[in-house]
Amino acid sequence: MWLLMESDSGEAFEHSPAQMTAALAHLSHVQRDISDFMLQVFGHTSELEPNIGELLQRTRANLKIPDAVVIPTMRQIRADGGEPSPELRESTGLGVPGMLQAWQAPAAERYREDSEKFRRINQLLKSVLEDKDVEITIPYNRSTVHVIINDRVLPLENLGTGISQLILLAVFATWHQDDLVCVEEPELNLHPLMLRKLVNFLVRSGTKFVLTTHSAHLLDAPEIGIVRVSYSADQGTILSAAISDADRAQVSRHLGYRASDLIQSNAIIWVEGPSDRIYLRYWIEVAEPRLVEGIHYSIMFYGGRLLAHLTGEEMDTPDGNVEDFISLLRINRSMAIVIDSDKSNLDSPLNATKERICQEFADKGCPAWVTYGREIENYVPAKDFVRALTQVHPSVKSTRVVDDVFADRFAHLSVSSPNKAKIAERVVEIWDGQEIDSLDLVENVRELVAYICVANDMPPSYEPHTFVP
């Protein structure tokens, strides 16, 4: 939730009515969760708007404005010729080799603090370059930064500006942990994929950042709040918070991007709905922790009824029946799809639409995973499902859930509209990193993970038995 500063001293904050209206629309689907939170924490609740207003008032009392540090566009790692110092002297990158050398071989009284800083910068490189053996080291004369890759020691200037920018931003994030770091155009000299990985690191670093950018590759990161900056001759500089998905889409259009420019994940997995995404993302993370949604793959929804209008065939001729079908492989040629079988028993046939989709995906070498049981929820052990169900819907009167893999898990419940997504979230919380072996789950997850790894030029790192308890 964005607050507008109403005084130059920064002592008073008030929320904008326009932003409140947008926030209410954006948060309407979690109104019940907010109400439950108010009851549990403060002992009372009200309608959505008063609840949000009270939360803002309570937040304001504890709001602390950090010191701001501006990192300019013109930044470069350079030696300053002076003695090594563990202190950052300039925000342009001057003197960074000497500071890194002081962190690499710290004085006894600063050993733990400075060696941990040096370790964190190396961890960023390992994460972004997806190489656990890469690391930096500083030569005796502090003239540059050496990067060790595949047993080769290369000066930083031999690796391109992108790696230099990564190290520099990691230094700023590590040094200014308690400050608000303002970085101009972090995307400079960075591949979009590397930029997303950098953002993941910055989010995890604990440092607060304000990034000015013309890149749309940061718009879909849920951890990032977006403010559009525009200029009007009448009103001057205008700042508007992009709270909802529609706001973010407007910012994207303002930057000149089209939808076809943004769907650029190396692999796309189509699922029926949000609960399927929650389960699938969990299984992928357990099987291959290196794979990150939004970087290595994206999950998109087709909805049950829409399936009849999807096709995996490419329509290369203008005579293709584009009125009736959506050509999925034109969106992304590395695709997979997960489909509920909807079978009531083992001998039930798969309907014609699902058979067609599976065949077309197979013809293109793309995985089509049809659930062994009725739905994706049938992979969840009954005891875990019942536990999650009763946590989400405490008033449920019937928990008659059987382990029949072809049974409708949501039948015979007193809840008319069970919240499948919330139940899925509770299930994965119950699992808490456990490896689940159910029906053909292991086989299909392995195939999917291997396919995503190939699309990202990554060899799978798990052994054949990893996904089995």
The tens digit of pLDDT for each residue in 133-186 reads: 889 999 999 889 999 988 889 888 887 777 888 888 889 888 988 888 998 888
Using pLDDT thresholds of 50, 70 and 90, give the confidence band for residue 282: very high
Distance CA 313, CA 333 (A): 11
Amino acid 210 reads V
Answer whether 151's CB lies under 8 Å from 110's CB: no
Distance CA 434, CA 392 (A): 21
At residue 319, the pLDDT reads 37
At residue 1, the pLDDT reads 43
The tens digit of pLDDT for each residue in 296-322 reads: 888 887 754 444 444 544 433 333 332
Q: At what angle do helices 382-392 and 420-431 cross, to 10 degrees?
A: 120
Query: Can you tell me the mean pLDDT for 437-456?
Result: 89
Phi (first) and psi of residue 268, to 5 degrees? -120, 135
The tens digit of pLDDT for each residue in 27-82 reads: 888 888 899 899 988 899 999 988 988 888 787 767 677 888 898 888 888 888 78
Answer whether 435's CB lies under 8 Å from 467's CB: yes
Distance CA 139, CA 122 (A): 16
The tens digit of pLDDT for each residue in 214-240 reads: 777 677 666 778 888 888 888 888 878
Give the three-class secondary structure for 269: strand
How many Cα atoms are found within 13 Å in the side-chain-facing hemisphere of 202?
A: 28
pTM: 0.55
Within 10 angstroms of residue 138's Cβ, the number of other Cβ atoms is 22
Longest distance between any two alpha carbons in the chain, whole Å: 78
